[in-house]
Structure 1
Amino acid sequence: MKVGVVGAGSIGLLFAAYLSRRFNVTVYTRTEAQASEINKFGILLKNSGRTISFVTALPFSEWQGMEDLSIITVKQYQLDDIIGRILQMPAEPENLLFLQNGMGHLEKLQSLAVPNLFVGTIEHGALRENSYTVSHNGFGVTNIAVFRGDSNQLFRFISSAPEEFPFVFKERYEDMLLNKLIANAVINPLTAILKVENGDLIENPYYLKVLDSLFTEIAAVLELDNAQSDLERVINICRTTAENRSSMLKDLEANRLTEIDAILGYILAKANKQDRKVPLLESLYYIIKGKENGGREVVK
């Protein structure tokens, strides 16, 4: 089975390294320089040890979507370029798996005529150290569900994936993405602003009060049916990933754009439609936006 991995950030490198153990993998990079280095050195994966995976790397401009499954690992704010590329292809791909945070990308996917569209959420922690090295510092699973189309190719992929890098099929993509959105909306902005690891949010009683207040606003906007259970799940994620640094924190530290628009921005838009006041959520959103690129307007 041929698998394309579009994007060679931390998640793209992580997926390409593990999936190359069972599949014929091609990774598509933003620059020709990164593709050249991956082809020369392979992908160095650091977990409990070190392994090198040799894959084919090509610049994104050469992606035609001809693999049996293409996995889109770029950040949500980079999706417009991906979707524009797909719409310009002579023949649209058959099977695409999108792995983005938030839920704002669902509307974008409606524009695609791709027969089989899948979406997923990632529980792994990863850090890209250079153009071809990735550190796997948080083990979990990848949840995937059908957004539209036939699940046969998805099950074929899941059944062949490496056991040490598991994929879990979910019946309802809405529930899967909502659960991830709630966790991201609480944990990511708080850890990014406070510059702390996930576990600090529940170990520090004052941070925990802020976490609870933020969750209360989010639960009201999303009209959660079982808010207490959802809160306990968020707290448990903080506990089980206590030493993890959130992706939003790492993005700010690296002076990159964050996915705040796809996460808090999505919830804030819903709150505005409901004419609901969410002062804490709104404040955190603007603080993160202010930290991006020193508060200057950026072109996405």
Structure 2
Amino acid sequence: MRIGIIGAGSIGLLFSWYLSEKHEVTLYTRTVHQADLINRKGVTLVKETEEVRKLPAKPMDEWVGGDDLTIITVKQYQLQEVLFQIEDKLDEAGSLLFLQNGMGHLKLIEKLQSSSIYVGSIEHGAVRESAARVRHNGAGAIRAAVFKGSLVRLEELANNAPEDFSIQVETDYYEILVRKLVVNAVINPLTAVFQVQNGILLANPFYRKIAMSLLEETLCVLETADKEKHYRDVVNVCEKTASNYSSMYADLSQGRRTEIDAILGFLIEEAEKRGVHCPYICNYYHMIKGKEFQGEVVT
């Protein structure tokens, strides 16, 4: 299958490396420099060892929509600009898979003219070490479902994914995004504010109490019934990625904009619609925004 990947951050590099094992992958980057570097040196995956895979890369403005499947891996706050660039090139025969944190992107993609649109979530730990180098810190689940259109391309992707990078096709896209949103809402802002690894949220009894309070409030805003399932999700991710730093922690420490608006910002909007009081969510939202403001964040 011909696959285009838009966005060459940690997730874009990770997907391009693994999927190029069985598919014809082209990686679309924000800069010409990064595309040139990948074309010359390939993409390096760092795990127990290092391995390079050669694949073509092009600047994002050269995407023409001719792939069987295009996977969009840019951050939530970059998505509107990307959609503006590609909207007039969408091929009716092509399919799109969106892999953003939060749920704010649903209102952006619902009007796109594409035969099939999928959304998904990723639990793999990955850090971009340089423009063509990604460290795979921990394996996790990749879940995806149909947002609209046909299941065909998504099933083809899942059936031909590498064994150590499997993709689970599920029936309810909303449930996938809610599960990931809950995990992100608890782990990302707390680890970024406390400046700790994920596992410390469980190991430190005081941080754990705050995490559970934030979890309860998040589930209240989302009116989610199965609280035990979401509790297990948060605990499992903290345990599996105990020595990792969250993406929000990494973004703040490197002076980048975070996805707090797509995560806690989205929850604040939902709380306002439903008349739900959410002091923990508001508190940590403004803490992260304050850190962004103080740190002269770049996008």
| Deviation of the 1:179 alpha carbon | 0.5
Letter in 2 for 1:5: I
For residue 68 of structure 2, what is the amino acid of its counterpart? D
Alignment of 1:7-46 (within 5 A): 7-46=7-46
What's the counterpart of residue 108 of structure 1? 108
1:299, distance to aligned residue in structure 2 (A): 8.9
Shift of 1:89: 1.8
* Equivalence map 1:115-130=2 (5 Å): 115-130=115-130
Q: RMSD over aligned Cα, in angstroms? A: 1.5
Matched residues in 1 for 2:90 and 2:161: separation?
30
Decide whether the 8 Å contact of 2:65 with 2:90 is kept in 1. no
Q: Say which is worse superposed, 270-279 or 146-155, in terms of deviation.
A: 270-279
Partner letter of residue 208 of structure 2? L
Report the secondary structure of 2:165's partner residue.
coil
Asked whether the 8 Å contact 1:256–1:293 carries over to 2, the reply is no
Whole-angstrom CA distance in 2 between matches of 1:91 and 1:163: 30
Name the CA distance, whole Å, in 2 between partners of 1:16 and 1:295.
Answer: 31
What residue in structure 2 maps to residue 287 of structure 1? Answer: 287
SS of residue matched to 1:71 = strand
SS at match of 2:65: coil
Deviation for aligned residue 1:93: 5.9
The number of aligned residues is: 299
Partner of 1:223: 223
Residue identity in the other structure for 2:69: L
Q: Is the 8 A contact 1:221 1:271 kept in 2?
A: yes
Q: TM-score, normalised by structure 1?
A: 0.96
Amino acid aligned to 2:99: L
Alpha-carbon shift at residue 91 of structure 1 (Å): 4.0
> Taking structure 1 as reference, are residues 207 and 26 closer, same or farther at Cα in structure 2, changes over 3 Å only?
same
Instruction: Write the distance in 1 (CA, Å) between the matches of 2:46 and 2:167.
Output: 20
Tell me whether 1:165 sits opposite 2:165 in the alignment.
yes
**In the aligned structure 2, how far is the partner of 1:107 from the partner of 1:140?**
27
Who is 1:249 aligned against? 249
TM score, norm. by length of structure 2: 0.96
**How far, CA to CA, are the matches of 1:92 and 1:256 in structure 2?**
35
Alpha-carbon distance in 1 for matches of 2:232, 2:156? 34
Cα shift at 1:85: 1.9
Q: Which residue of 2 aligns with 1:270?
A: 270
| TM-fit CA distance, 1:228 | 3.1
Distance 1:232 1:165, change over 3 A: closer
| Partner secondary structure for residue 164 of structure 1 | helix
Amino acid at match of 1:156: E
* Cα gap change, 1:90 to 1:214, in 2 (>3 Å): closer
Question: 1:135 is aligned with what amino acid?
Answer: R
In the aligned structure 2, how far is the partner of 1:9 from the partner of 1:90? 22
1:104, distance to aligned residue in structure 2 (A): 0.8
CA contact (8 A) 2:92 2:114 kept: yes
What is the CA deviation profile of residues 62-84 of structure 1, one whole-angstrom value per residue up to 9, with x for unaligned ones?
Answer: 01121111100000000111211
CA contact (8 A) 2:90 2:114 kept: no
How far, CA to CA, are the matches of 2:68 and 2:91 in structure 1? Answer: 14
> Quick one: distance in 2 between partners of 1:97 and 1:233?
23
Query: Aligned AA for 2:126?
Result: A
Q: Alignment partner of 2:164: what SS?
A: coil
Mark the runs of 5 or more structure 2 residues left unpaired by the alignment: none
1:99 paired with 2:107, answer no
1:236 CA displacement: 2.3
CA contact (8 A) 2:22 2:161 kept: yes
Instruction: Say if 1:289 and 1:295, in contact at 8 Å, map to a contact too.
Output: no
Would the aligned equivalents of 2:91 and 2:114 in 1 still touch at CA under 8 Å? no
Does the alignment pair 1:240 with 2:240? Answer: yes
The letter for the 2-side match of 1:21 is E
% same residue = 46
The equivalent residue for 1:184 is 184
Aligned to 1:207: 207
